[in-house]
Amino acid sequence: MRVLVVEDARALAAIVAEGLRDQGMAVDIAHDGLAAAAKLDVNAYEVVLLDRDLPGIHGDALCQMITGRDDRPMVLMLTAAGSPGDRVSGLTLGADDYLAKPFHFPELVLRIRSLARRRPSSRGRVLRADGVELDPVARTATRDGTRLDLSVKEFALLEALLQASPAHLSAEDLLERVWDEHADPFTNTVTVTIGRLRRKLGAPPVITTTAGVGYRIAEPAG
């Protein structure tokens, strides 16, 4: 899952981003509305964590811009103002959820995951292909009923491949979905993580590679 954190308080943005990355999310940060708008034009996000009181472009205006997009991300609006009237006005602008500061981080994570599931283009809760099942909410993955012990990045990589199945994802696609905009495009981290994931998935192979195209998980023929 790729998330954009739009927050002008730099320390808070860094803490939130680090915590979400520890949960296996790819996270980018923007500290003002103009930078956020530029990132939204370049990258595809599933959820935008949007501070309401932003410099550059106010959070209210940015929220309205986001809701007018095709295949738009879900918006979780954050603000220090937590009265019922503030929540109503935020949701009226098109936000999908609203969370007042200060907030409990576990609740933030649950709300982000819930929004990602509600996104119209998202699939069902449990992802399945070729004997592999992954539950993004419970954070569990199995193959043929056997629990897989996966690292955060291995889990996120498997989730991305299952979401795309039976289509291919290139190394660049996976870098974008599983890591973030600071990932080195020339790194071999995707290859290394794919290798570890393949070993944990076991035989017969689940992830196939097509030279010049990418990786995929597909149901076996027949």
Q: What is the pLDDT of residues 142-200, one digit of tens each?
A: 999 999 999 988 998 999 899 888 888 898 888 888 877 666 666 788 899 999 999 99
Range of the structural domain that residue 172 is part of: 127-217
- Mark whether 132 and 24 lie in a shared domain: no
Flag whether pLDDT at 72 surpasses 80: yes
Query: CA–CA distance from 220 to each of 20, 146, 204 (Å)?
Result: 34, 19, 11
In a domain, 89, yes or no: yes
- Mark whether 114 and 131 lie in a shared domain: no
β partners of residue 49: 5, 76
Confidence of residue 83 (pLDDT cuts 50, 70, 90): low
In a domain, 112, yes or no: yes
Number of domains in the chain: 2
CATH at residue 138: 1.10.10.10
Query: CA–CA distance from 115 to each of 70, 98, 187 (Å)?
Result: 17, 11, 31
- Mark whether 194 and 155 lie in a shared domain: yes
Who contacts 53 (Cβ-Cβ below 8 Å, separation ≥6)? 8, 59, 79, 80
- Mark whether 65 and 172 lie in a shared domain: no
The pLDDT score that the predictor gives to residue 19 is 93
- Mark whether 176 and 210 lie in a shared domain: yes
- Mark whether 82 and 158 lie in a shared domain: no
- Mark whether 113 and 27 lie in a shared domain: yes
Cβ burial of 192 (10 Å; 0-12, 13-18, 19+) is exposed
- Mark whether 114 and 10 lie in a shared domain: yes
Predicted confidence (pLDDT) per residue in 1-32, tens digit: 889 999 999 999 999 999 999 888 889 999 99
CATH at residue 62: 3.40.50.2300
The pLDDT score that the predictor gives to residue 81 is 62
Confidence of residue 222 (pLDDT cuts 50, 70, 90): very low
Predicted confidence (pLDDT) per residue in 38-70, tens digit: 999 888 888 999 998 899 999 889 998 888 777
Q: Give the end of a domain, one of 90, 118, 146.
A: 118
Mean pLDDT highest for which of 23-37, 92-106, 110-124, 168-182? 23-37
In a domain, 73, yes or no: yes
